[in-house]
Structure 1
Amino acid sequence: MANSMTGFGQHTVYVDQTSISVEVRTVNHRFFDLSLKIPRSFYVLEAKVKNILQSYFGRGRVEVYVTVEGQGLVERVVDVDWLLLDQYINHMTVIKEKYLDKHDLSVDILPNLEEIFIVTEVEKQTDQIKKAFIDAVNIACQQAEQMRQTEGSMLIEDILKRMKNIDKITNQLHDRRDTVIKDYHKRILDRLSNYTAEINQTSDPRIFQEVALLAEKGDISEEITRLHSHVEQFIDTANQVAPKEIGRKLEFILQEMLRETNTIGSKANDPQISNWVVDLKTEIEKIKEQIQNIE
């Protein structure tokens, strides 16, 4: 069955003193649109993560949020600015020689000279951390995909019910078609009779030819046939066992159905058919709204 484009998945993994949490959110979009927000330490895996996401989701906006907590990914390292320290030592030597009697200066004050100590954080990327992160991405994607499948099944179920109603109305249009043509034919003759009472209609075949041509313009047989065909094609597409991005195809079929419905409404000068056309448009618009979220 078809997939919805709305889904959510979340998974957290723990490595030593670090937790890595991955959230995947998906919503409807005409194309595959990815927003990937990951820590700088995982930039090296960005291409791999994108490939994983595209293997799960063919269409929709996909937002991925990665949160890292703990110290397992960072190691703090202390370094010394030796050039600066040499200058301190040289100046301290001069100071001690010049002011030895007044001040007792020693190297004990060095820890207070924060400028000479440089503390940096080195990010660690072990194979264990990389694997844990990729596993979390996969599991979050699987959860989001499952949600999309569940919602997609519900959408298709409701859409097919509406499509069966459309098929029912189309059958009613077909059954009424002959009656409408006869009524239309009679109305044309009656009007001709009122305006051209002096013409002997039975003796002039051209009158009947013109009436037939006018009546044919109001014939909706071809539109009904195409509408039946579109309904069957829509149902077959929606019932595909392993669909791949069928949303666009369903949108196109629905657009063609709406086109045929509008033509029927403009050609058939009949109150009952006009009511059915309104019902058809209502069902098509409701289906159109739902299809916007089909992958």
Structure 2
Amino acid sequence: MAKSMTGYGLSTTQFENTTITVEIRSVNHRFLDIIPKYPRTFLFLEDKIKMLVKNFFSRGRVELHINIEGEGFVQKSISTDWKLLDQFIQQLKVAKERYGLQGEIPFSVLTQLPDLITIQENEEKPDNLQENILACIEDACLQVLEMRIEEGKNLLDDILERATIIRNIVRSIESRRENVIDEYRTRIKQRMEEYIEDPITVDSSRLHQEIALLAEKGDIAEEITRLHSHLDQLEEWSKLEEPIGRKLDFILQEMNREANTVGSKSTDTKISEWTVAMKSEIERIKEQVQNIE
């Protein structure tokens, strides 16, 4: 089954005044690259999160964002350094007596003292927090997977459609092959006659042998056979349930190589045009395959 490497998933769950939101974005990549982004307090879950994501995907760049908020998760409290405050008040009294200062100490002065009053955040992790985070991630992964499967079907339909076009081009080249060989032999014979300025007898077995060898070098029968074989393999691999992106990329490289050989061997204008069209379709398939897992 062909799966795209592009997908998106968003899952939210609420429990005990806590809200967990998981957002996953997936794009194409040569390997599986998981990039988790969440509060540092949940680093202990990193291995479990990566193992969970690996159960769904084998290739692609997967960005995973986790946001956790709620009153039940973070409790704030105020702490006062009473010893520091006592020392400050005592020093102010000493200063008043020493310099004869008048008036009361304003309360606003106390609030401006650094480190006197601090606000502390105490994270309270509910008992089932880990299970809820992993369940939320799993739900988002399922959404991404569903999107990747749907887009993979569309990509595969386009690939197989273009593979059919290539197959028809190969058949057209194959149908013209015999005529090209005959024309090639005739052209070789005419050039040799012009060179030696004497008609060549058709009964000359040695000469015909040499012409046959030269014509064989320009024959594209083997390339046509391999192209048919590669197209059969492409169609066969497209039915596999496992990831097929790398397999398709390999077979397309081989097809492109055979197409280049056909183009370099052929001196026929029509075959050259068909070869260019075939290479164009191969390149378009390669672009689509770059996004298949």
Structure-1-length-normalised TM-score = 0.89
2: distance between equivalents of 1:83 and 1:159?
Answer: 76
Change (3 A) 1:89 1:261: same
Change (3 A) 1:102 1:213: closer
* Contact 2:32/2:59 (8 A) holds in 1: yes
Q: Which residue of 2 aligns with 1:232?
A: 232
Are residues 1:252 and 2:253 paired?
no
Task: Give, in angstroms, the shift of residue 32 of structure 1.
Answer: 1.4
Tell me, which stretches of 5 or more residues in structure 2 are unaligned?
Answer: none
| Secondary structure of the corresponding residue to residue 21 of structure 1 | strand
2: distance between equivalents of 1:32 and 1:129?
Answer: 27
Tell me, which stretches of 5 or more residues in structure 1 are unaligned?
Answer: none
Q: Which residue of 2 aligns with 1:157?
A: 157
Q: How does 1:1-295 map onto structure 2 within 5 Å?
A: 1-88=1-88, 90-91=90-91, 112=111, 115-198=115-198, 200-202=200-202, 204-240=204-240, 242-244=241-243, 246-295=244-293
Encode CA deviations 1:24-80: one digit per residue, 9 max, x unaligned.
Answer: 011111111222211223222122111111221111111112223333221123334
* Contact 1:41/1:123 (8 A) holds in 2: no
Q: Which amino acid aligns with 2:73?
A: L
* Contact 1:15/1:72 (8 A) holds in 2: no
* Contact 1:3/1:294 (8 A) holds in 2: yes
2: distance between equivalents of 1:274 and 1:24?
Answer: 47
> How many residues matched?
292
Tell me the C-alpha RMSD between the 2 structures. 2.6
| Secondary structure of the corresponding residue to residue 125 of structure 2 | coil
Change (3 A) 1:187 1:81: same
| Secondary structure of the corresponding residue to residue 72 of structure 2 | coil
* Contact 1:96/1:103 (8 A) holds in 2: no
Change (3 A) 1:85 1:274: same
Structure-2-length-normalised TM-score = 0.89
1: distance between equivalents of 2:229 and 2:221?
Answer: 12
* Contact 1:81/1:117 (8 A) holds in 2: yes
Moved more, 137-146 or 174-183: 174-183
Q: Which amino acid aligns with 1:243?
A: E
* Contact 2:111/2:117 (8 A) holds in 1: no
2: distance between equivalents of 1:154 and 1:225?
Answer: 29
Moved more, 65-74 or 284-293: 65-74
* Contact 1:26/1:60 (8 A) holds in 2: yes
2: distance between equivalents of 1:261 and 1:79?
Answer: 77
2: distance between equivalents of 1:277 and 1:260?
Answer: 10
Q: Which amino acid aligns with 2:266?
A: A
Q: Which amino acid aligns with 1:67?
A: N
| Secondary structure of the corresponding residue to residue 201 of structure 1 | coil
Identity percentage of aligned residues = 45
Q: Which amino acid aligns with 2:265?
A: K
Task: Give, in angstroms, the shift of residue 271 of structure 1.
Answer: 1.7
Task: Give, in angstroms, the shift of residue 126 of structure 1.
Answer: 2.1
Change (3 A) 1:227 1:103: same
* Contact 1:156/1:238 (8 A) holds in 2: yes
